[in-house]
Amino acid sequence: MSAIKVIRALLAAHAPVLGLVPVARIVAGTVPQGMPLPAIGLTEISRVELPTVSRGQRAVQVTARVQVTVHASAYPEQKAVLQAARLGPGAHTGAVAGVAVRSVMRDVVGPDMTDDEAGVYQQSRDFKVVFVEAN
């Protein structure tokens, strides 16, 4: 959950995202049906925990991949929100939402997806989040 918490906090503090998507529409998990669009759903795709050699430490370093899925009612809106969700240049480090973050870096961008019947356009962008978590 910490990786989701980190990405949500970064998105909620990023002015380009907030100019397009209210904080209440940046949700952990699947975007609820009926939520006004645009909205962003956050899911953890994978995680690798690296314990210490002794396995006796109180913390482990975790590398998690978080998928940020943009849902919009028009294709240009989808692309604008996805672009804003890049979180700017460089890696993010330090304390984020109470989590000791080693780095947050952009990863792959997924394909365009459209549900013509529902009128929903979506696309995802992944981030690799490296952080320290209690063991």
CATH number, domain with residue 91: 3.30.2000.10
| pLDDT of amino acid 124 | 97
92 lies in which domain range? 2-134
| pLDDT of amino acid 53 | 65
Strand, coil or helix: 4 = helix
Taking the mean position of all CA atoms in its chain, how far away is CA 31?
Answer: 13
Domain total in the chain? 1
Instruction: Give the pTM.
Output: 0.92
| pLDDT of amino acid 25 | 98
| pLDDT of amino acid 52 | 65
Reported as type and span, the H/E element at residue 36 is none
Mean pLDDT (10-residue bins), the chain, 135 residues: 94 96 97 95 94 72 96 96 92 92 95 87 96 87
- Encoding tokens for residue 33? 């049906």
